[in-house]
Structure 1
Amino acid sequence: MSIEEIDPRQVRERLARGARFIDVREEHERAGGQAEGSLGIARAELEAEPALHLPDREVEVVLICQRGARSLAAARALSAQGYARLASVAGGTSRWLEEGLPAFEPVLDEDRRDFNERYSRHLLLPEVGAAGQRRLERARVLLIGAGGLGSPSAYYLVAAGVGRLRIVDDDVVDRSNLQRQILHGEARIDLPKVDSAQATLSALNPRTRIEPVRERVTAANVDALMQDVDVVLDGADNFPVRYLLNDACIRHGKPLVYGAVQRFEGQASVFDAGRHRGRCPCYRCLFPEPPSPEFAPNCAEAGVLGVVPGIVGLVQAAEVLKLLLGIGDTLAGRLLHFDALAMRFRETRLRADPDCPLCAPGRPFPGYIDYQRFCAGGS
């Protein structure tokens, strides 16, 4: 069936004879101005349950969107469901406003207005939209470390609208941190990092609930820290915590977003063996044993260019958002290397170790070990 396209000035005539006039844009789009006489019903909602909004299939229906494409597609969908008298406004709301036709701004409560304004650029993305943004608001992320990797990650996760961020760090702010740990400032030297992070992030987005936990991550508390979270972001700076997080994520079936930096280089990956045994590798598949300390000095010993953890931390934040939204291809099964001096990224494919002591299919969880001793070369 061919759908009739009409000029905006023809709508009033259709309304006078009893037509239903529906704006199929999303709520955040309608907030900028809606054609007078129209009822706002998002296209997906209208197409999912048309009889709820249009019980009479013989009624004349006029649809409008931003420029005319979505309303035309919605009209075709309604036609396929038995509606016969359909029209789409050519040029949509943009043309309506250009021609000076009467419009109004829908009345929204403060929470909905804040949501629409704050996340307007996300809401324009079909891969996110209102449903995806609400999913982010329901999400809970565990962030280990409020330092070089955790700072940029936390900034962008909170800005993106993650609903709850549990930050675990037992350290205090030191002046040497400020070259890269951008959550903190001069006035917060000697304050707990988690308290400094909470102050910064709450000021950025009060919609996100920040849970500061001033503790060192150990085998004694890691299970409690994992409770009710969807994704774990590893911003730690030492091997014992990385191995512990890997093992705990396998035990609890949580994806682990990994990052590490040194000097002018960094790397990132996603270890999702807890949910995909035998298909996705874990951290132990990559590093069955920790490198000796002389081959893996930390940033305090080897130094780090301040922007490197910023870049790697943003990669981690992007991976967390993709996992929460269920979009794109994550770094699971891939190790991303970044070299700042060459300004080059390269990728290494990772495979699950069928004999991995932690993530091999069918292998029961062996329990936590003494990770300090393990990383020091003990048995």
Structure 2
Amino acid sequence: MSRFVSGEAPQGTLDRYSRQIVLPAGFGGVDPIKRLQSSTAIIIGLGGLGSPVATYLASSGVGKLVLVDGDAVEASNLHRQVIHSEATVGLPKVVSAQQRLQEINSLTEVNVIKSHVTAENVGTLFKDFVDSTTVFFDCTDNLQTRLIINDGVSKLYPETPIVSGSAVSLSGQVTVLNTANGGCYNCLQPSKPSSMSCSTSGILPSVCGIIGGLQVSQGIKCFLGKEDGLLSNKILMYDATYDESFRCFKIPKNPKCAFCNGEESPNNADATCSDSVVNTTIISDLYISSEEYDENPGSYVTLDVRTEQETSVGHLSGCLFLHENFKVLEELVGEEKPVVFVCRTGIRARERLLEFQALGGKGGKVLKGGLFKWKETCPDFPLI
């Protein structure tokens, strides 16, 4: 006769997940671990948020991860995108992350999709991975992309949760979308979003860790079917300044939301989960290429619209700075020379050009691809 009775813990579970199994009812026990092991997480964006999200989902025992990103690892990513390393700079982010996750938990299946999410591919990109156990994790840094994810997933996979996080500068927020009776991203963001992102506004690395960790907690609640504390129709906001405050707001489903009522999203537009290349419908003759600009830079008035912190690292010779004179747009309206607007990628420059034109300015240009693209002609140019 056996001297003990063994439970139903899968092979290798007790040693790896012992501190998780002893959690209070609903999170602990063998059954929740088995449920996580049979679940699928689709993580869109392997940057500052996707790094901790993927890491903690794998270590928590989620059985299948699907990593979605079209970018490669850059040195400038490493301070916040902790799943990557110096050794993986230049590799696709999904490959870099896959390698690390397989080291963390060999029991987790890690699939990769090396692609940005666009309005054209959102309908087919995830079809091989979605089932009743799936939860989406939106870890992108672009509001337009979040809307594309919201619209595509909500239409194709109703009531498949989207755990959406964002982190910019010193703050971040988390919400859960596409749940039963829950609102969508258009309910939260009814008007056209701004272009604010980590590359334009900076980011404190620890903010990514905090927001990513909260996304994982919310995702685990979705996997386990726990509604208590789920941020559906709510948004949790974190601010690293002053008292490190958390605030939670109720955001009820908007009964007048066009998308929830079956109409087209007011914000749906083609975008990618990277802002390394400007993706707009701006008329092509409003751009100037780096090559054309370099032929005779003295024939233009160059306005750098970046922050003081960015321009202090490096800037084009002879340019004006928006941060030194916020009335400069008005003052340049009558300028005879064409005004060339520059920033890191061209996004902020385009917005300032449109403001300039609204004031009556003529002949403005945007440096195509921004200083990020111009750096190809001058590799030693310091750019953050």
For 1:222, what is the secondary structure of its paired residue? Answer: coil
2 CA distance for matches of 1:292 and 1:132? 40
Higher-Rg member (1/2): 1
Q: Deviations over 1:24-62 (max 9, x none)?
A: xxxxxxxxxxxx8545265xx9xxxxxxxxxxxxxxxxx
In the alignment, structure 2 segments of 5+ residues that lack a partner are 272-279, 282-346, 352-384
- Find the partner of 1:287 among 170, 189, 192: 189
1:114 aligns with 2:16: no
Matched residue type, 1:353: N
- Alpha-carbon shift at residue 322 of structure 1 (Å): 0.8
Judge conservation of contact 1:143–1:234 (CA < 8 Å) in 2.
yes
Matched residue type, 1:138: S
- Find the partner of 2:249 among 338, 342, 348: 348
Matched residue type, 1:340: A
TM-score, length-scaled by structure 2: 0.65
1 CA distance for matches of 2:263 and 2:4? 57
Change (3 A) 1:356 1:188: same
2 CA distance for matches of 1:367 and 1:262? 24
Residue in structure 2 matched with residue 233 of structure 1 by the alignment: 137
Q: How does 1:256-267 map to 2 (within 5 A)?
A: 256-267=162-173
Q: How does 1:309-320 map to 2 (within 5 A)?
A: 309-320=208-219
Judge conservation of contact 1:336–1:347 (CA < 8 Å) in 2.
yes
**What fraction of aligned residue pairs are identical, expressed as a percent?**
35
Matched residue type, 1:178: L
- Find the partner of 2:37 among 127, 137, 158: 137
In the alignment, structure 1 segments of 5+ residues that lack a partner are 1-35, 46-110
Judge conservation of contact 2:177–2:183 (CA < 8 Å) in 1.
yes
Residue in structure 2 matched with residue 150 of structure 1 by the alignment: 50
Alignment root-mean-square deviation, CA: 2.6
Matched residue type, 2:149: L
Judge conservation of contact 2:192–2:267 (CA < 8 Å) in 1.
no
Q: Deviations over 1:217-261 (max 9, x none)?
A: 112322233333311100101122100111122111111111111
2 CA distance for matches of 1:325 and 1:155? 19
1 CA distance for matches of 2:31 and 2:266? 38
Residue in structure 2 matched with residue 301 of structure 1 by the alignment: 200
1 CA distance for matches of 2:250 and 2:218? 17
Judge conservation of contact 1:247–1:368 (CA < 8 Å) in 2.
no
Q: Deviations over 1:333-373 (max 9, x none)?
A: 1111101122110111101111212223xx37789953346
TM-score, length-scaled by structure 1: 0.65
1:245 aligns with 2:149: yes
1:329 aligns with 2:229: yes
Q: Deviations over 1:135-187 (max 9, x none)?
A: 11110111001100000011100000111110011111111111000000111
Change (3 A) 1:174 1:41: closer
**If each structure's helix is expressed as a fraction of its own residues, which one has the higher value?**
1
Judge conservation of contact 2:174–2:237 (CA < 8 Å) in 1.
yes
Residue in structure 1 matched with residue 122 of structure 2 by the alignment: 222
Judge conservation of contact 2:118–2:270 (CA < 8 Å) in 1.
no
- Alpha-carbon shift at residue 112 of structure 1 (Å): 3.9
2 CA distance for matches of 1:341 and 1:367? 33
